[in-house]
Chain A
Amino acid sequence: QKEVEQNSGPLSVPEGAIASLNCTYSDRGSQSFFWYRQYSGKSPELIMSIYSNGDKEDGRFTAQLNKASQYVSLLIRDSQPSDSATYLCAVTPLSSGYNKLIFGAGTRLAVHP
């Protein structure tokens, strides 16, 4: 079982719609959770971090964490073509002493006009 799992996509949504990206993780003791956006050929850029159960909103982005179910999601409201990118979920697992960021394979999002 992979430590962090994401659906590779592509997830295709129309402009203006809500994009929902999901991520599950295997280490129940994981402490910190991150969503990164990566454009082709570029390094990842941090969008959201979340540490406790519930929702965290920042502009058009909402991160949701459910530690009991071991999943974290990212909602993008009013999706724009510029949101088209690969979204990477990352966690700091207990097994690494919370020192390492372990990434999922990423979900490719395509927002079409």
Chain B
Amino acid sequence: GAVVSQHPSRVICKSGTSVKIECRSLDFQATTMFWYRQFPKQSLMLMATSNEGSKATYEQGVEKDKFLINHASLTLSTLTVTSAHPEDSSFYICSARDEFGSGTQLSVL
């Protein structure tokens, strides 16, 4: 079974709203998790490294105030897309160790 669980699998929201995505490690503790974004027919682009108990490390060009990451426990990291706009529509995927969550398809109207 899946060792990394991600919810929700699909979100449709209005422009300007915020969306929270959860990523859980099911049978292990993850001090570090990763968040990726994938646009259609493109590869996975690392957005940020989520560190348990400390601030996330963002990749160049990723706005930390727009993509809020919280890693409050050893099994849960959350990504909040704040004030989402249509250009934020994408497939968001988390990972821990070398396993991936099932992904979240975000569509912003």
A interface, CB within 8 angstroms of B: 34, 36, 41-46, 49, 88, 99-106
Contact = CB atoms under 8 A, between A and B. Distances in A.
Contacts, number: 40
Contact of A49 (B34, B43, B98, B100): B98
B98 A46 contact: yes
B105 interface: yes
Contact of B44 (A41, A42, A49, A88): A88
Given A34-B98, A43-B93, A49-B98, A102 B46 contact: yes
Given A100-B34, A100-B49, A43 B43 contact: no
Interface string B17-50: 0000000000000001010000000111110010
Indicate the member of A34, A99, A104 with the most B CB atoms within 10 Å.
Answer: A99
Size bracket of the B interface? 10 to 19
Given A42-B103, A45-B100, A101 B43 contact: no
B89 to A, nearest CB: 14
B13 to A, nearest CB: 19
A43 B49 contact: no
Interface in B61-102: 91, 93, 95, 98-102
Interface of B: 6, 32, 34, 42-46, 49, 91, 93, 95, 98-103, 105
B34 A101 contact: yes
B44 to A, nearest CB: 5
Interface centre among A43, A44, A45, A103, by most B CB within 10 Å? A43
